[in-house]
A = this chain, B = another copy of it.
């Protein structure tokens, strides 16, 4: 895609960029190296990590483990505030709902998937057939191998790959620093650089009650990267949109992103207000507020990117290259609605039409089926209870995808998690999202009237929370075990609400699948074919929260005329804390203040590189040529926020914790000699 090869690319582990790495970096990516990448990389829920010892030790970001650490905490034992170090293996703390996945194999099933969809099929039939074959493939694979099996659409539907994962469900906390140093700078510094955060945590995977014994893991580098070194990043980038058509990107710019920003800002204002009431409320809302603020910032950056005429022009030029031959060189001056009317049978025109269709019901889809109107922890629980009753009696291939056999075990682990839910926070979240529903659809929309049930949003939220028994895991289990009869008989207001709107939600989901998802898959498959013909596999697929390899150079950048070095050092954290008056989020934990004299203040802390990452890469191991771990990726800078749509290395950087920072902190601050020794294989 780039004429001069940049460091762009989140590459498939089954098809790594060997030639590119050889040409640009004189690096031989061997099959053995590729195999280790796969087997030593770990997928966390929505994020990444890596094995770092033969005894199942896993490193990731503190913010990736934060939910688990929070769930292990109590008012008497605040592990977020005070951190945690297991003094022995016996003292490692089991995390109730954590599941880790390790990729074992990749199989191309494109032909089998596409075979069930005939060109003359109606979209609804095609979507049903596709859903059935996906569930069948996954179910077969699960039965045959016992491994978690997911079929993933690559190139927006150009290829289908079956991924098989080994699952670890006995995962224990080994070490977490205090949140104050793990997230030093907090939401203020999120997407910013320079940074000085120790955003890492260690867990251990267990099998049969014993630490997992591993052949493949990343050795810890005690040196870390030098400036201009090649680095490799392995992990699970979540979503990019680089191969989407211009019509799709414009729809995101003009419809989806503005809606999502409005929603996140509404949530954020409420959560901030809630947090400020008391230290307890601040603690209760911390994780969800961070997640909302993080997405709001990321989406705002994306929108500014899509409003950049240069970026749109680049997208248009890329599309025109594929488009021109398709319409026999009748080169259009501009790829807009008119051209799609002149050539209505191109895949680009089909995608443009699906955006038009989507505009009519997207809000309803997101509010009702994604659940934006009922932003809470209880609502998805209530919905699973209601829907499992209806779906589980059906044949596997006919169920909604999230209830296919191969997904049930993981789903139940989440649904029956004993993690406590704060009723006061639930009420605040529900009030703001119920109000948001009315803001979006209008106070007299039938759905609004149904959901509010004759109450204003504040009273409705209070009723729902006060009346619901779903805070109790036993009640959830009772409902799921009881099936349709118990669900129908329930007078729990959350269950009643979900029951009342379930037909509407299913209807709009069907619209989405039939009018958008399936036509897009077919169109993108056609575009992918053209792209393969023109460019081969030189363009990797968009990110899909599956394992990818990125690479780049450890280096700094210039901003507003100032040169930022590629790494920071420990002393910068102390300096910044002092400069900002030692107020949150710039308070160093007491352990660091106490250890200051012992610390080598010139120890590298965080560093940046040009490697191509995105949300989901949090916790990604950053490796050197020898395959040793030199860092743990934890953020991008704000210049990298446009990476959803285009890669640039002018200023865009990812940010990682330096491997030496972890060693120095473990030894000098936390007296965690055994853990440091384990990392170094001693």
A binding-site residues for B, Cβ under 8 Å: 186-188, 250, 253-254, 257-258, 261-262, 265-266, 268-269, 272-273, 276-279, 296-297, 300, 303-309, 311, 431, 435, 438-440, 442-444, 452, 454-459, 580-581
Question: 26 A-B contacts, Cβ less than 8 Å apart?
Answer: A187-B273, A187-B276, A188-B276, A253-B438, A254-B442, A254-B443, A254-B444, A257-B439, A258-B438, A258-B439, A258-B440, A262-B262, A262-B439, A265-B265, A265-B266, A265-B268, A268-B269, A269-B296, A273-B297, A303-B435, A303-B438, A303-B439, A307-B443, A307-B456, A309-B455, A311-B456
Shortest C-beta distance, A443 to chain B (Å), equals 5
Asked whether, in the complex, the Cβ of B265 is within 8 Å of the Cβ of A454, the reply is no
A308 to B458, CA, bound (A): 9
Chain copies in the assembled complex: 2
A548 to B279, CA, bound (A): 41
A368 to B304, CA, bound (A): 20
Q: Which of B254, B297, B457, B581 contacts A307 (CB 8 A)?
A: B457
Shortest C-beta distance, A675 to chain B (Å), equals 33
Point out the residues of chain B lying under 8 angstroms from A309, CB to CB.
454-456
A581 to B587, CA, bound (A): 15
Asked whether, in the complex, the Cβ of A456 is within 8 Å of the Cβ of B277, the reply is no
Q: A272-B272, A279-B580, A439-B261 are in contact. Are A457 and B304 (CB under 8 A)?
A: yes
Point out the residues of chain B lying under 8 angstroms from A279, CB to CB.
580-581
A258 to B444, CA, bound (A): 14
Point out the residues of chain B lying under 8 angstroms from A254, CB to CB.
442-444
Point out the residues of chain B lying under 8 angstroms from A262, CB to CB.
262, 265-266, 439
20 further interface pairs, Cβ-Cβ under 8 Å (given A254-B442, A304-B435): A187-B276, A188-B273, A250-B443, A250-B444, A253-B443, A254-B443, A258-B439, A261-B266, A261-B439, A265-B265, A269-B269, A272-B272, A273-B297, A278-B580, A300-B435, A303-B439, A304-B431, A304-B456, A305-B456, A311-B456
Point out the residues of chain B lying under 8 angstroms from A431, CB to CB.
304
Point out the residues of chain B lying under 8 angstroms from A272, CB to CB.
272
Point out the residues of chain B lying under 8 angstroms from A305, CB to CB.
456
A300 to B454, CA, bound (A): 19
Point out the residues of chain B lying under 8 angstroms from A581, CB to CB.
279
A62 to B456, CA, bound (A): 34
Point out the residues of chain B lying under 8 angstroms from A253, CB to CB.
438, 442-443
Asked whether, in the complex, the Cβ of A443 is within 8 Å of the Cβ of B188, the reply is no
Shortest C-beta distance, A316 to chain B (Å), equals 13
Q: What residue of chain B has the Cβ atom nearest to residue A274's Cβ? A: B188
A313 to B306, CA, bound (A): 45
Q: What residue of chain B has the Cβ atom nearest to residue A442's Cβ? A: B254
Point out the residues of chain B lying under 8 angstroms from A266, CB to CB.
261-262, 265
Q: What residue of chain B has the Cβ atom nearest to residue A257's Cβ? A: B439
Asked whether, in the complex, the Cβ of A452 is within 8 Å of the Cβ of B265, the reply is no
Which residue among A300, A455, A581 has the maximum number of chain B CB atoms within 10 Å of its CB? A300
A435 to B253, CA, bound (A): 11
Point out the residues of chain B lying under 8 angstroms from A435, CB to CB.
300, 303-304, 307
Shortest C-beta distance, A326 to chain B (Å), equals 24
Asked whether, in the complex, the Cβ of B261 is within 8 Å of the Cβ of A456, the reply is no
A250 to B444, CA, bound (A): 9
Point out the residues of chain B lying under 8 angstroms from A268, CB to CB.
265, 269
Q: What residue of chain B has the Cβ atom nearest to residue A255's Cβ? A: B442
A273 to B581, CA, bound (A): 17
A568 to B254, CA, bound (A): 50
Q: What residue of chain B has the Cβ atom nearest to residue A301's Cβ? A: B458
Q: What residue of chain B has the Cβ atom nearest to residue A269's Cβ? A: B265
A253 to B438, CA, bound (A): 9
Asked whether, in the complex, the Cβ of B306 is within 8 Å of the Cβ of A443, the reply is yes
Shortest C-beta distance, A425 to chain B (Å), equals 16
